[in-house]
Amino acid sequence: MILHLKDTISAVEASRLAEQYKAFHVVSNNTNVLITGSGVKEIPDGLEDKVAEHWVFPNDMQLASRSYRNETREVTIGNTTIGGKTGNTLIISGPCSVESEEQIRQSAALLKANGLTSLRGGCYKPRTSPYSFQGMGLDGLKLLAKMREEHGFTVVTEARDATHIDEIIEHADVIQVGAKAMYDQGILRACAKTQKTVLIKRGFGTTLQEFVQAAEFVLSGGNENVLLCERGIRTFETGTRFTLDLCGVEWLKHYTNLPVILDPSHAMGYAYGVAGLTRACTALGVDGLLIEVHPNPKVAKSDASQQLNHAEFEALLTSIKPIAAAVGYTIV
């Protein structure tokens, strides 16, 4: 249950009530909000005259649900706002992994040349084998930060586990919680304590409801800047790397109030299909697209097969603009 307390209740008093009733307490738009589990169906005894408004839910999708807030939330990344009525589709692009200063400078130049503002690059790679390239770590983060200083980009990078979450929070503008880490409460709770934007990727074995509940960890902890990212689920089909779940995206848009970002690169796993899929994603009308692009995909240290080269990326960018326009969106 979500309870909006009357504005006669102070934040201190709200916090005390939260403790008493074992609820979460957040302040949203100057309102003190308490959130209990969804099993609570009636205003708890003693709170009746302190509550201005309340919502009951069939399950633990509460703060993120459309039955609580019936519009997509706005989230601002650098100078760009997505969600709400903005009609913006934000392009977040760059290489799978930060590999060297030269490489990331080439990526930065590509973004600059195409008027893009958001640079992605992995520094702590969540590889499934200890024998693969594990990322540049803090050195990579510093390279991304350098690009931000030089170009004004916003930087999107991934936290692999809770051991380095503080570094990520310090250096990134958007903290990406990867598909393998999205159940990690150490990360989610740390993300809840900052006001930086958190992009949560759906685990490849994660139901839509669990996915949204991961966002509830952040929202109920006090950070409203949450993006949901669909990047493909694991199915019996192995001809492609994963299966991009666009039915699920329609479900997310129907039932939740969070902006939705799509990652066709990881879903497909092969460059040949990324452009087509990205066009399909654009036509859905979404708040952002994550696209992997590398100056020379063949020598990439991770995900070599799925990254576009610069020419392919620019052709793709050109092709999606009229599609976005056809559905009332703008590529930014």
Name the burial class of residue 240, with classes exposed (0-12), middle (13-18) and buried (19+) by CB atoms within 10 angstroms of its CB. Answer: middle
Q: How far is the CB of 25 from its own copies (least distance, A)?
A: 13
Within residues 107-136, the interface with its own copies by CB under 8 A covers 126, 128-132, 134
The rounded distance, in Å, linking the Cα atoms of 113 and 311 is 12
Q: Judged by CB under 8 A, does residue 326 bind its own copies?
A: yes
Q: How far is the CB of 123 from its own copies (least distance, A)?
A: 13
Name the burial class of residue 285, with classes exposed (0-12), middle (13-18) and buried (19+) by CB atoms within 10 angstroms of its CB. Answer: middle
x/- mask, its own copies, residues 135-154, rule CB under 8 A, reads --------------------
Which two structure tokens, joined as six digits, stand for 38? Answer: 């969804």
95/232 with CB nearer its own copies: 232
Q: How far is the CB of 9 from its own copies (least distance, A)?
A: 21
Q: Judged by CB under 8 A, does residue 35 bind its own copies?
A: yes
Q: Judged by CB under 8 A, does residue 10 bind its own copies?
A: no
Q: In the set 100, 163, 296, 305, which binds its own copies (CB under 8 A)?
A: 163
Q: How far is the CB of 148 from its own copies (least distance, A)?
A: 26
Q: How far is the CB of 105 from its own copies (least distance, A)?
A: 25
Q: What is the DSSP string of 123-171?
A: SS---SSTTS----THHHHHHHHHHHHHH--EEEEEE-SGGGHHHHHHH
Q: Judged by CB under 8 A, does residue 160 bind its own copies?
A: yes
Q: Judged by CB under 8 A, does residue 243 bind its own copies?
A: yes
Using the CB atoms, write b or e for 50-61: b if 16+ within 10 Å. Answer: bbeebbebeebb
The rounded distance, in Å, linking the Cα atoms of 36 and 24 is 6
Within residues 263-302, the interface with its own copies by CB under 8 A covers 267-269, 272-273, 276-277, 279-285
| Stretch touching its own copies by CB under 8 A, among 66-74, 98-106, 110-118, 247-255 | 247-255
- CB atoms under 10 Å from CB of 292, counted, come to 27
51-55 vs 226-230, strand pairing mode: unpaired
Within residues 46-75, the interface with its own copies by CB under 8 A covers 60, 62
Angle 208-219/246-255 helices, nearest 10 degrees?
50
Within residues 305-324, the interface with its own copies by CB under 8 A covers 319, 322-323
Q: Say whether 266 sits in a helix, a strand or coil.
A: helix
142/234 with CB nearer its own copies: 234
Please work out the total of residues on this chain that contact its own copies, with binding judged by CB under 8 A.
Answer: 82
x/- mask, its own copies, residues 195-234, rule CB under 8 A, reads --------xxxxxxxx--xx-xx--xx----------xxx
